[in-house]
Structure 1
Amino acid sequence: MRRLTVWASLALLTGWMVSSTAIALVKPFPPSFEIRDIPTNGVTLHVRVGGSGSAVILLHGYGETGDMWEPLAVALSRNHRVIVPDLRGLGLSSKPAGGYDKKTQGEDVAGLLDALKVDRTDVVTHDIGNMVGYAFVAGHPDRVRRFVLMDAPLPGIGPWDEILKSPMLWHFHFGGPDMERLVAGRERIYLDRFWNDFSADPRRFTEADRQHYARLYAMPGAMHAGFAQFAAFDQDARDNQVSLAKGKLSMPVLAIGGAKSFGPTMAVVMRAAASNVTEQVIPDAGHWLMEEQPEATIAAVQGFLEATP
């Protein structure tokens, strides 16, 4: 019923009639997870919370929402209190006009943890979630036990300037009012480009998932917020360089790359930002690790978080 409530809210916001088939597109979080909308730092985050034990927060990236984490969240909830927000402007979180620099969003995370009375946490991130996660961890290193990043660079850190030269990353500079008009009503077409081009096998990013996320990104303000996440990269790079000048991260870090995507470069990036980095490459996977190789990805994250200190 919780998922029905979420989709009913979505239908009201968009004016769409959502069928029972659409409601079931993506596997919902189990009933043991509480679904809440939590105000923090001038935004309201849509959050799923479940399990018990030491805390772990999961931060999603572009083209998805916190829904991507359901299999990992369920696995981790056996030993952890798992916190899964939608980022500012995405999914069912509120969509303010600004605040999409990652330093601000790092404070979204800090405020969310304060609201949930969590002092210390593990952090697991993917894609733009890596950038939000790094901003939070760099700003609050005493609150973080272990940090896992998956398959995306950090602005201004390591080989960032070389990464920007890749023609595959033209979307980093795609945005503004005309671009929003260009994709209006064509959100699925635009997002298919990401799901297809960055997969080892596009069929692994299922039609059900594509329909689910395309509906969420077609909500009013969602594409604007998504473009704003990328438009902030220059500011993010400046902020990250200031953070790095204060010293590298000292907590254990796991850098995971898909073998047919970012691969070992994820560890190259993190060795420029952290002093205790473990490298892992997931075979036969592109960028969408949780969709393409969920079992291997879950095993890698669990093994790292539950390793003896």
Structure 2
Amino acid sequence: MRQEITDHNGERVTHGKERINGVRLHYYTAGSGDPLVLLHGVPKTSYYWRKVVPLLSHEYTVVVPDLRGFGDSEITRNGHDMKTMGDDVAKLMNALGHETYRVVGEDWGATTGLALAAQYPDRVEKLAFLEMIMDGFGLQDWSFLTEENVGNQRWLWHINFYAVPDFPEMLISGKERRYFEHFFKIECHDPAAVPDHAIEEYVRSFSQPGGLQNMLEVYRHPFENAAFFETMTEDKLEMPVLAVGSTHFIGEEVERQMDYVASDVTGETLEWGHQLAEECPDELAEVLLEFMG
């Protein structure tokens, strides 16, 4: 059963919805102070950050949206490229009255945050980029069936599978619980760190009408995303960027990714797997608080 999300005082977070770029986005907020937005990855929702929020809300006004088509945000048939999704977050923060803010993103939420920072560099004060590889900068290479990828347990075979129109929907539909539970566990260093209620919440998102297709659409803009990120190598981000990898998944490659597109990069590697906010919320929060200052 889904747990209630609370702040550092044990008070319930405040939920809201705003229509942004034609899509109604759900979000929740907690705490007070300078704004800090947390962006979830795939296949997750804003529920992913529930353990971290109370560790940050004593210092920041934490804003946690469901990306378009995820969680309790509206299902949509388009706009799942990183440039559009980054713009969604910028306009949501503007609607909430936040002109400048800090950004933390993980997995596809990391590249969403990166696209946000590229489009609105005057609004993003600091960016934390967690456990992700950019389209065009190695993400597809990690999907290849090679001895190195399989041996390092980093074979991202699903990148190509999800990019195929319609076929993944047919094969996964009706099997969401079994499929995504396996996915979460295999990417963790500590599989027990992701409880059943979290998996059920994520599966709820992708089991609703159109939910699975919305999730898969994120993977179907590789060339568009790659072209966008390529422009950033010539005009690098100037704000401080924290690149956080996990020893047992993407690791130090996260820092190398950010070196392509940012000029002020600090690297950090945590001794866990891909699901950092589930596996090590206290360590992650400590690193974020130190960086965000």
**Structure 2 residue corresponding to 1:120, chosen from 88, 100, 110:** 100
Match of 2:287 among 294, 297, 300: 300
Identify the residue that residue 258 of structure 1 maps to in structure 2: 246
Give the TM-score of the pair, scaled to structure 1: 0.86
Give the distance between the partners of 2:59 and 2:167, measured in 1 at CA. Answer: 47
* 1:14 equivalent in structure 2: none
> Aligned partners of 1:144 and 1:96: how far apart in 2?
26
Q: Tell me if structure 2 keeps the 8 A contact 1:173–1:231.
A: no
Q: How does 1:172-191 map to 2 (within 5 A)?
A: 172-175=159-162, 176-191=165-180
2:38 corresponding residue in structure 1:
58
1:27 positional shift: 4.1
1:269 to 2:274 alignment: no
TM-score by length of 2: 0.91
- The 5 Å alignment of 1:199-278 reads 199-245=188-234, 247-278=235-266
The secondary structure found in structure 1 opposite 2:236 is coil
Amino acid at match of 2:185: N
2:243 partner amino acid: A
- State how far apart, in whole Å, the 1-side matches of 2:236 and 2:182 are: 35
Partner of 1:17: none
Deviation for aligned residue 1:239: 1.4
Find the partner of 1:195 among 184, 189, 197: 184
Query: Which runs of 5 or more residues in structure 2 are unaligned?
Result: none
Contact 1:58 1:85 in 2 (8 A): yes
Matching residue's letter, 1:296: E
Secondary structure at 1:92's aligned position in 2?
A: coil
Equivalent pairs, count? 280
Given the superposition, is the C-alpha separation of residues 160 and 210 from structure 1 closer, same or farther in structure 2, using an over 3 Å criterion? closer
Report what 1:169 is aligned to.
156
Alpha carbons of structure 1 residues 234 and 164: separation in structure 2 relative to 1, 3 Å: farther
RMSD: 1.5
Q: Does 1:151 align with 2:139?
A: no
Alpha-carbon offset, residue 232 of structure 1 = 1.5
What amino acid maps onto 1:163 in structure 2?
W
Q: Indicate the structure with greater helix content.
A: 1
CA distance in 2, matches of 1:27, 1:200: 26
How far apart are the structure 2 equivalents of 1:162 and 1:187? 26
Q: What is the alpha-carbon distance in structure 2 between the residues aligned to residue 161 and residue 109 of structure 1?
A: 26
Distance in 2 between the 1:64 and 1:145 partners?
25
Q: Structure 1 unaligned runs (5+)?
A: 1-21
Q: Secondary structure at the match of 1:169?
A: coil
Partners of 1:41 and 1:54 in 2: CA distance? 25
CA distance in 2, matches of 1:210, 1:200: 16
How far has the Cα of 1:130 moved from its partner? Answer: 0.8
Equivalent residues of 1:172, 1:231 under 8 A apart: no
Q: Distance in 1 between the 2:143 and 2:12 partners?
A: 42
Residue 149 of structure 1 aligns to a residue whose secondary structure is strand
Aligned amino acid, residue 47 of structure 1: Y
Preserved contact between residue 26 and residue 212 of structure 1 (Cα < 8 Å): no
- Indicate yes or no: 2:16 matched with 1:36: yes
Which of 81, 87, 91 is equivalent to 1:111?
91
After superposing on structure 2, the runs of 4+ consecutive aligned residues of structure 1 that deviate more than 6 Å are none
CA distance in 2, matches of 1:47, 1:239: 27
Which residue of structure 1 lines up, in the alignment, with residue 120 of structure 2?
140
| Correspondence for 1:90 | 70
Shift in Å, 1:244: 3.0
Aligned AA (2:292): L
